[in-house]
Amino acid sequence: MLRPDLLHPGVVHAKVSLAEASGNFNFSLRKAFGANVYLLGYSCPNMTPDPPARPRRFQLGLVLVVLAVALMPMRAVPDEPAWQVYFSPNHGATKAVVDALDAAKATVLVQAYSFTSAPIAKALVEAHDRGVDVQVILDRKETAAKYSSADFLAHAGIVTLIDGQHAIAHNKVMVIDGVAIITGSFNFTTAAERQNAENLLVIHDRALAARYTENWRAHAAHSIRYAGR
């Protein structure tokens, strides 16, 4: 018979069965199949009124079964989503890029078509200044302007490459620490943040990052180092 305990305003958190068992095992399917816990089993006739007689073999068998279930490997708790998505205008895409760059520890590989975002350029330089290996591939149009992001990055000491092998080098990609990929329609520009309808994905996946890194290196191989003006 189940009787609700109405005397305690908080959680009734005891896990006790007078006739059978006690321990840190909650009597739930989640505890039985999803966690490593312990359960103590014993029989004490004096603790319950007129307990029905049970063979000791049955009691021992019950304890062994419960212990076997409790010792089953714990199922992994699902990870947090391995991706985040942002949209523009004005829905945090630039901040997401800057935050990812601020968290970079070892490497940042960039491919960009149009690049006029001051916050993103500043975050790249700051990553470079704290010892992160930052390398950037840009479209050749970035060398046509009087002063461009290519000049800004090159003057900061960042390896800046110009990919002139294609009609346009239209990738918008960052690979950070071999784990995180930033990509989407979002150009690293002020207009993309404030005016355009764009999307940006931040994905955490080593295998996918390796594929993007391989592609980045293939483009770097036919690109030309830019020293700035």
Q: Which amino acid is at 163?
A: D
Comparing C-alpha atoms, which of 131, 138, 84 is closest to residue 107? Answer: 131
The contacts of residue 199 (CB under 8 Å, 6+ apart) are: 85, 86, 87, 88, 184, 185, 186
Torsion angle of alpha carbons 205, 187, 155, 131, nearest 10°?
-20
Query: Is 177 assigned a catalytic role?
Result: yes
- The active-site residue out of 177, 204, 205, 219 is 177
Here the tokens at position 177 are 């620490």
Containing H/E element for 14? none
- The active-site residue out of 172, 204, 205, 219 is 172
For residue 155, what are the CA distances in angstroms to 43, 59, 121, 211? 80, 78, 12, 30
- The active-site residue out of 95, 105, 166, 170 is 170
* Active centre residues (catalytic): 170, 172, 177
